[in-house]
Amino acid sequence: MEHPRMYDDGDPLLAHVRDVAARFPESVEVEAWGRPTFRAGKKIFAVYGSSGTDEPALILKPDPEERPALEQDERFFSPPYFGPAGWLALRLDPAVDWDEVRELLDSSYRQVALVRMLRALDA
């Protein structure tokens, strides 16, 4: 069953996420479940949007050591489907700190990327 598209290609927040995600080695964007997913090869490291809410959000896999602190931050929530597997969603707004988004995406990417991708990232 094909999912309806749940995002707007003209969304400026999505444009920023795309720009940041595209900088990771072998990063690709694939639409899945009606949303843009960002992958290190075949493994997802981020999803734009969150089921159960209309507000813009970025789902990512936080560093396990950083997760407890992020859970205390009201900008983060446990997204449906992904949350039980340890993922968190960051609410996005025009004032979001893009340096923080880069760091969070970097951490998420590093957890799923292959060794060769990590070597390229660190080179």
Give residue 28's pLDDT. Answer: 98
Amino acid of residue 113: A
CATH number at residue 37: 3.90.1150.30
Asked whether the beta carbons of 59 and 79 are under 8 A apart, the reply is: yes
User: Could you state, in chain order, the average pLDDT of each consecutive group of 10 residues for the chain (123 residues)?
Assistant: 84 96 98 95 92 81 95 94 93 94 98 97 96
Total domain count, the chain = 1
Q: Is residue 4 assigned to a domain?
A: no
Helix-strand-coil split of the chain, %, nearest 5: 35, 25, 45
Give residue 17's pLDDT. Answer: 97
Q: Is residue 60 assigned to a domain?
A: yes
Give residue 52's pLDDT. Answer: 60
The pTM score is: 0.93
Give residue 48's pLDDT. Answer: 96
24: phi then psi, degrees, rounded to nearest 5: -85, 140
